[in-house]
């Protein structure tokens, strides 16, 4: 399509130049000039279209994420996050589609493992979980409570500075808060430290960068999603069918599915509790998104019968 567009542009420019160079004739001069002006305007419009269309293709190619691009177009991304750039959202204009795609190139297996249905379900699960973590929705919100993901970029009024002083491998830096930041609301020094090491920033001395840099924010969310932290499996492995439960997992009823992903992310506070509202919110986002991706949810949506890690 782009090649055809460039060919069309070349032809219309050739015609425009020839028309513009015609020697004016008293009775036809005005008409010739009008035709030349129209041709030039048409060419500029065509050039704008080609630039807009090809820039999106180049972004996908550059990021080597053609599979993810085909699953999550800019149009679908905007449909999923209907209100992320509203004035009511503190993270307005922070979480961009380009940052999401560019972050994904550091994790080539994300959204690229298994069947087409499996890939779409994994991406839907990831987007649903980060939507809950950053939600600005409420029961009677416009377009429903599950259209308000990516509304916040950092935790508001944190209960503590999230420093585990017993962790000597990733010691807290004086005066720093390791509160929730970014799409996954990365929290605690023992997450900021290894995330920074893996992604090339100092997570202990400069945790604020997760709320100040959109690309790094998405990279931390994908790092958490893709990284196994024993005894927890990675969220990725759970959603693509590579999770192999241990005897302890079986005894704790930690069965594969979206509910286990919730357990990995925040099971200590949300799992093993009947009808927990936070779990229901995560499920609500997931159900909306799988419908947009035209796939089913898979089994085991909640974690009320699972023991946390």
| From 133, 154, 169, 291, the catalytic residue | 133
Q: For 159-178, give one letter per residue: b (16+ CB within 10 A) or e.
A: eeebbeeeeeebebbeebbb
Distances in Å between the Cα of 79 and the Cα atoms of 61, 72, 148, 233 are 23, 10, 11, 31
71 token code pair: 């699953």
> Are 262 and 302 a contacting pair, CB within 8 Å?
yes
CA 269-274-280 angle, 5° bins: 75
Using a 10 angstrom Cβ sphere, with 0-12 exposed, 13-18 middle and 19 or more buried, the burial of residue 198 is middle
133 is a catalytic site residue: yes
* Contact of 163 with 172, CB cutoff 8 Å: yes
CA distance 12 to 18: 10
Q: 169: which 2 tokens? A: 């491998």
Neighbours of 93 (CB within 10 A): 9
Active site residues: 133
């Amino acid at each position: 399509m782009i090649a055809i567009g460039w060919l069309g542009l070349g032809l219309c420019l050739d015609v425009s130049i020839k028309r513009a160079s015609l020697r004016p004739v008293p009775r036809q001069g005005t008409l010739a000039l009008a035709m030349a002006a129209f041709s030039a305007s048409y060419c500029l419009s065509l050039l704008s279209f080609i630039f807009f269309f090809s820039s999106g293709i180049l972004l996908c190619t550059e990021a080597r994420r053609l599979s993810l691009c085909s699953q999550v177009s800019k149009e679908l991304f905007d449909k999923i996050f209907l209100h992320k750039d509203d004035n009511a959202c503190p993270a307005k204009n922070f979480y961009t589609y380009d940052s999401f795609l560019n972050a994904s190139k550091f994790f080539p297996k994300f959204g690229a493992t298994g069947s087409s249905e499996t890939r779409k379900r994994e991406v839907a699960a990831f987007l649903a979980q980060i939507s809950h973590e950053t939600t600005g929705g409420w029961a009677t919100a416009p377009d429903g409570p599950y259209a308000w993901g990516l509304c916040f970029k950092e935790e508001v009024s944190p209960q503590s500075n999230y420093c585990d002083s017993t962790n000597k491998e990733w010691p807290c830096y004086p005066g720093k808060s390791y509160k929730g930041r970014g799409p996954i609301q990365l929290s605690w020094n023992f997450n900021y430290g290894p995330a920074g090491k893996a992604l090339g920033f100092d997570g202990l001395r400069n945790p604020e960068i997760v709320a100040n840099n959109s690309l790094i924010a998405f990279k931390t969310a994908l790092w958490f999603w893709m990284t196994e932290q024993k005894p927890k499996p990675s969220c990725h492995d759970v959603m693509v069918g590579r999770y192999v439960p241990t005897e302890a997992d079986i005894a704790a009823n930690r069965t594969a599915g979206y509910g286990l992903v919730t357990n990995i992310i925040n099971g200590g506070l949300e799992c093993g509790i009947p009808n927990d509202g936070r779990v229901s919110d995560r499920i609500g986002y997931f159900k909306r998104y799988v419908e947009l991706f035209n796939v089913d949810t898979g089994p085991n949506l909640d974690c009320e019968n699972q023991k946390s890690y």
